[in-house]
């Protein structure tokens, strides 16, 4: 059974001050995706994307997006962002239920729990959560803490965080 990577965008992959989710949304609203090549080059950090690719090459996971971006972009738009930023491997491996359920007043722990309850209750499967300290503040001290890799704001998914994610998945696959 393939593992799952439950991934946030902001402060995991995206932390550029100028090229950010607001610019992505504006490009979609203006139907101007081809007019902002620098946005696609910089919105996701190259090093963080390289580390995610390394994780992908080892485990070939399915991906579930747990990000505020899913509040204003649909699946096709998220896939377009992923393709334009060199993360085709994520777009091509999105789970059928590609994002965690979001409701007014929900927070990361309840969103991830909701997705896991729907998809792993009868058949546990290995997973890792890639989030940041701010969005994922409900994860430390919870039953999901041991499967979460929390990235630092403005730093993202670094090589040490990659090593932590690899260990979490390897331990579950033993």
* CATH code for the domain in which residue 109 is found: 3.40.50
Helices (H), ranges, the chain: 21-29, 37-42, 46-59, 75-84, 88-91, 108-120, 159-173
pLDDT of the residue at 4 = 98
Q: What is the dihedral of CA 88, 94, 96, 102, to 10 degrees?
A: -120
- Region label for 76, one of left (φ > 0), alpha (ψ between -120 and 50) or beta (otherwise): alpha
Measured distance CA(8)–CA(136) in Å, rounded: 9
pTM, full prediction: 0.96
Return mean pLDDT, the chain.
96
Residue 79: which H helix or E strand, with range? Answer: helix 75-84
pLDDT of the residue at 121 = 81
pLDDT of the residue at 122 = 82
pLDDT of the residue at 69 = 96
pLDDT of the residue at 105 = 80
Q: For the chain, how many structural domains are there in total?
A: 1
Taking Cα atoms as reference points, which of 145, 151, 147, 112 lies closest to residue 131? 151
Residue that the structure tokens 């090549």 belong to: 37
pLDDT of the residue at 155 = 97
pLDDT of the residue at 41 = 97
Domain that holds residue 58: 4-173
pLDDT of the residue at 142 = 97
Q: Which residues does the chain have with pLDDT short of 70?
A: none
């Amino acid at each position: 059974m393939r593992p799952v990577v439950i991934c946030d965008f902001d402060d995991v992959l995206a932390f550029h001050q100028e090229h950010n989710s607001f610019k992505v949304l504006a490009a979609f609203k203006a139907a101007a995706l081809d007019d902002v090549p620098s946005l696609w080059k910089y919105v996701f950090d190259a090093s963080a994307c390289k580390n995610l690719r390394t994780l992908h090459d080892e485990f070939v996971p399915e991906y579930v997006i747990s990000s505020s971006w899913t509040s204003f972009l649909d699946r096709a738009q998220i896939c377009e962002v992923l393709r334009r930023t060199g993360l085709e491997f994520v777009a091509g491996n999105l789970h059928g239920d590609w994002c965690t359920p979001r409701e007014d007043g929900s927070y990361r722990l309840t969103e991830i729990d909701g997705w896991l309850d729907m998809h792993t209750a009868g058949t546990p499967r290995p997973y890792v959560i890639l989030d940041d300290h701010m969005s994922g503040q409900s994860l430390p001290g919870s039953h999901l803490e041991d499967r979460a890799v929390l990235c630092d704001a403005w730093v993202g998914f670094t090589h040490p965080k990659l090593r932590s994610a690899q260990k979490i998945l390897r331990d579950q696959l033993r």
